[in-house]
Structure 1
Amino acid sequence: MTRLDNAGPSPAAGVSDGLDAHLVLDRGAFRLDVRLTVAPGEVLALLGPNGAGKTTSLRTLAGLTPLTDGHLRLDGRTLEEPALRRRVPTEDRPVGVIFQDYLLFPHLTALDNVAFGPRCHGVPKADARARAAELLARMGLTDHAGVKPRRLSGGQAQRVALARALATGPRLLLLDEPLAALDARARLDVRAELRRHLAAFEAVAVLVTHDPLDAMVLADRLVVIEHGRVVQEGTPAEIARRPRTDYIARLVGLNLYQGEADGHAVTLGHGVTVTTTERLTGPAFVAFPPSAVTLSPDRPDSSARNAWRAAITGLESHGDQIRVALTGLADGMPLTADLTAVSVAELGLHEGAQVWATVKAAQTHAYPA
């Protein structure tokens, strides 16, 4: 595979520390306090609900928003440390950024958009254009080098933006919702292509996304931010398997509850006890997918160890399924179930209807809180 190596000035020989950041930004009503460590060649995704601090984190990494405390180091070089009054100007940082709407210059061709960065760094015009042509070739865009942005498809514009970000040889590549501007059809192909390019990038890449699939496919590791702080981090598989907040559970499509475990039983704050296959003691989470929930009009005579009387509070399409929102009648416990449209019709389900919800212990997953 062709490596997307760096052009221009390189860090000192032997330096490959990657990113070491403690991002602190105090805005009174909102405080960001996030620690990030990313190795060269690693792709990190920042996830979180609106207002969590993802974009703010990206802006501080880019040097667009100054830190109020903490530090930002890249390949062993301090780019910012307020306590030492150290701050490298934004334009002098080895950082490339791909913005959500790409921000290509409309009056320049694809080639000149890519060559713009090197030219700003003093690279002669011929050399800058040669470097741009090489990057466009890697992106499969040689035939579009002379095309202006308005004549590019969304996927082509995204690749030009990536080439432009790489043209200055960044040691840190930042991607802000890189696929958000694409329609669903283009997103699938461009996501796979972007993953290949990121896998070939030798420095640090950090992306912000709201889409869990983008994060799972593009990133080696996820950091979840809520209220300006890291609440969970790990590989995509670890996050999906053991969510620790309601936001993450919704993101990966699980019912999640926290309670006190005693053997195979986890007693929730709602007063409900969930029977699990794992044996635990102490604070614990218990999770199960909506597909594990069976609904019936009468209490079923089955082997399911967990059964609750609940009322339907909403129904909505969810892919090829119908997602049913429920609330426990005795305890107010929220619950979601996924059923086929045929099952919903046969059961005559509607908002306000009362049903029995059951989950087999074998379909639950409990783990320490």
Structure 2
Amino acid sequence: MTEAGRLDARGPAGVTDGGATAGAGGLDARLVVDRGDFALDVTLGARPGEVLALLGPNGAGKTTALRALAGLTPLTGGHLRLDGETLEEPAIRRRTAPEGRPVGVIFQDYLLFPHLTALENVAFGPRCHGMPRAAARTLAAELLDRMGLADHAGTKPRRLSGGQAQRVALARALATGPRLLLLDEPLAALDARARLDVRAELRRHLAAFEAVAVLVTHDPLDATVLADRLVVIENGRPVQQGTPAEVARRPRTDYVARLVGLNLYQGEAAGHTVRLAPGLGLATTETLQGAAFVAFPPSAVTLHRERPDRGENAWPAEVAGMESHGDRIRVALTGAGPAAGLPLAADLTAVAVAELTLALGDAVWVSVGLTETHAYPA
């Protein structure tokens, strides 16, 4: 394979790379899929060595995008180019069949062949591409060794742990030398304890991958740990993209705000105040003018039985629900008065909830720390 233990994506001898040149170009795609009842229109770009994560609520189009990249769902418009080669472009009637694309896929359930050993599963792809049996087995053994699975080469999938099966699936996907690696919820089949170890190990392998990787996940922690950049999709359209830190700091939709654990509102800024509704403004440390977002964490919210002495960033609300959230109690609230209907989440200690004797439907006052609000242009 390659020097310094890198996971080479150029493809072993005898395995086609679709005519792509290693290290050049990366991914350039506009994925347009119109099914009548649902339309996807997402532009994606990534450099070789970059991990791109697609996030979004159920039905947003993440899986459709992944299937379009793999060639399993035909494009109705746009284009798909990989390392400068056009794999699909409906306008010029060009479409490379899925089996002809230099693409590796790791499915949510891994889909390992149950009757084959780990070694035979990994060797399967190169054998299908014409590699001699002995060479394919040698390549498979090398990949399993890199995954720390040399001792499990002769083991069948049913005797592998979830983490081991995931690594075999990764080795199998890499065995054909893909220039694009697609991962569909790769950690979803694991229990919480296994996810910690496998997530860290998968990050190490992806960091060594020399081509483009695209990850679909609904888990913000998986996306933050594994990806270099995030693309958030809602209703078939991208609504936000950037590094995990950029997206977490400046959410632009309610879905993204919930994903990163922030309260988010949109209003009109004038100086240090963002007006959310008539008679309701949030004071911030930033100075802005015009349409703006303002965000703050649930931990920045305190609740009171009476109106606090300082009325800045305070409004009446009603308790709409409570649930455990780590070592805190998350209180869901609905605004009242000038904040009527405004949703809010507050994280309180169990002691604070007990002292306030909170119950569903209780009227309370909300206050938000000035220094913990963050405003930015909409």
Please tell me the residue identity of whatever aligns with 2:124: F
Task: Verify the 8 A CA contact 1:270 1:333 in the aligned structure 2.
Answer: no
| Partner in structure 2 of residue 328 of structure 1 | 335
Equivalent positions of 1:13-92 (< 5 A) are: 16-92=24-100
Contact preservation (8 Å) 2:23, 2:210: no
Tell me whether 1:342 sits opposite 2:345 in the alignment.
no
Structure 2 unpaired stretches of 5+ = none
Residue equivalent to 2:315: 308
Aligned equivalent of 2:6: 3
Offset of residue 254 of structure 1: 0.3
Name the CA distance, whole Å, in 2 between partners of 1:266 and 1:329: 18
Which among 356, 363, 366 is matched to residue 365 of structure 2?
356
* Residue in 2 that maps onto 1:102: 110
Q: Distance in 2 between matches of 1:277 and 1:73?
A: 45
Q: Any conservation in 1 of the 2:257–2:264 contact (CA below 8 Å)?
A: yes
Find the residue that maps to 1:337 and give its secondary structure. Answer: strand
Match of 1:29, SS? coil
What's 2:207 paired with? 199
Query: Partner amino acid for 1:152?
Result: L
Mapped partners of 1:279, 1:155: distance in 2: 49
SS in 2 for 1:174: strand
> Do 1:296 and 1:357's aligned partners in 2 also have CA atoms closer than 8 Å?
yes
What's the RMSD between the two structures over aligned residues?
1.2
Measured against aligned partners, the alpha-carbon deviations of 1:38-91 in whole angstroms (never above 9, x if no partner) come to: 100000000000000000000000000000011000000000001111001110
Q: Offset of 1:305 from its aligned partner?
A: 2.0
Compute the displacement of 1:13 (Å): 5.0
Percent identity among equivalent residues? Answer: 77
User: Hey, what does 2:324 align to over in structure 1?
Assistant: 317
Give CA deviations for 1:3-52 in whole Å, capped at 9, x if unaligned: 00033345555761000000000011211000000100000000000000
Alignment gaps of 5+ in structure 1: none
- Name the residue aligned to 2:286: 278
1:227 aligns with 2:235: yes
CA drift at 1:308: 0.9
What is the letter of the counterpart of residue 215 of structure 1? A
| Deviation for aligned residue 1:323 | 0.5
Distance 1:130 1:214 in 2: 32
Alignment of 1:184-263 (within 5 A): 184-263=192-271
Q: Which amino acid aligns with 2:365?
A: W
Query: Counterpart in 2 of 1:132?
Result: 140
In the superposition, the TM-score normalised over structure 1's length comes to 0.98
Distance in 1 of aligned mates of 2:371 and 2:144: 52
Q: Secondary structure at the match of 1:116?
A: helix
Counterpart for residue 366 of structure 1: 375
Q: Alpha-carbon deviation of 1:300?
A: 2.0
- Aligned-partner Cα distance in 2 for 1:117–1:20: 25
| Alpha-carbon separation, structure 2, partners of 1:52 and 1:98 | 20
The answer as to 2:152 corresponding to 1:149 is no
Distance 1:222 1:30, change over 3 A: same
Q: Cα 1:12–1:358, aligned 2, differ >3 Å: closer, same or farther?
A: closer
Query: How many aligned positions are there?
Result: 368
Query: Contact between 1:282 and 1:368, CA under 8 Å: does it hold in 2?
Result: yes
CA distance in 2, matches of 1:34, 1:93: 20
Retained in 2: the 8 A contact 1:270–1:332?
no
One-letter amino acid of the counterpart of residue 53, structure 2:
A
CA shift for structure 1 position 342: 1.7
| Residues 297-333 of structure 1: per-residue CA shift (max 9 Å, x gap) | 112224x721111110000111111110001111221
